[in-house]
Structure 1
């Protein structure tokens, strides 16, 4: 089997999307820690366009952008499929991945915002969660049914990190159980999947990391 390497930075939610996919598939890989404050020649060589992590190297060939990498992994290693086989269900899964990509950015903006901008991003985040609560899950355990799939990976990296960012920012008012019972049941189910549970960043370390990064960002603004 061709060598697999993963370039990333902890605790990036985009990196964990790829980690989860590799773990679900049972694919061994070498992790290469990247310093985004001093980007390595390796990162610049293999992602010269965006110069971002994560980057998957498979047999020396780079694949960039987290959800593109996850689809690539699913196509190359076909065990434990992440995308449904039915064309309609596959399209639906891709729809929710796109929604997570488009709307999840409010969570990352919230991490860096204050004042009116923070209020705006909190409102956008709550609206995103409400849409998923009402239209994304229904009564299903996961987005695709009984098994974890690609949409769960996309949203898992949004919701789990939202919980940590809320605590770091000090605004624990968005993702409340009574507002989003389906999403709370879903994230609980997701965190109980062994490959996810065993590959989550340490909670206290992650909150402290985001708190420190936020303080540094706001101090330099």
Structure 2
């Protein structure tokens, strides 16, 4: 069985397991989505969802955040960690959006990558969830981990892992694939203690032969 065929079979199982897999961040506009994704770096979606209601009530759009007092924003986003850098990025992104894009979040990869705090992962998430565009696959920590465990990629750089995933899956699956892998990473394929004995993908997963010695015990 080729890696591409195996990947297709795995994804078919993931669709059955997580038919409603979607982004966990809460937002009410394209701009709020962008800010939430920037804030989600190196923290959990749960943590972000706790602070964004306060942040967006005070600064609901790009024009409001562009003129914000950094100290006030830092106090609000502090629980998400790296709060000074994140404050600098979201205010900087808001200012550029107002100055260059008339207050609207741009809808191309090229333009999104000019915004402070935005790399390919963030741009992919915004493009898919705000504009329905699949320009790539968002590789977060869960996707990165599962890409290696499932034998999709051996690369250490997230952009190269994304490239390998894009070669394995059809474009129409790129956006949703991210969330199916994230759900499985959270539910079963934990970073430290994957539950291989309960995994529906075990027969197709090369790592199930060695992780926790599950195969040997079966």
Indicate whether the TM-score tops 0.5. Answer: no
Indicate the structure with greater helix content.
2
* Alignment TM-score, normalising by the size of structure 2: 0.29
* Alignment TM-score, normalising by the size of structure 1: 0.29
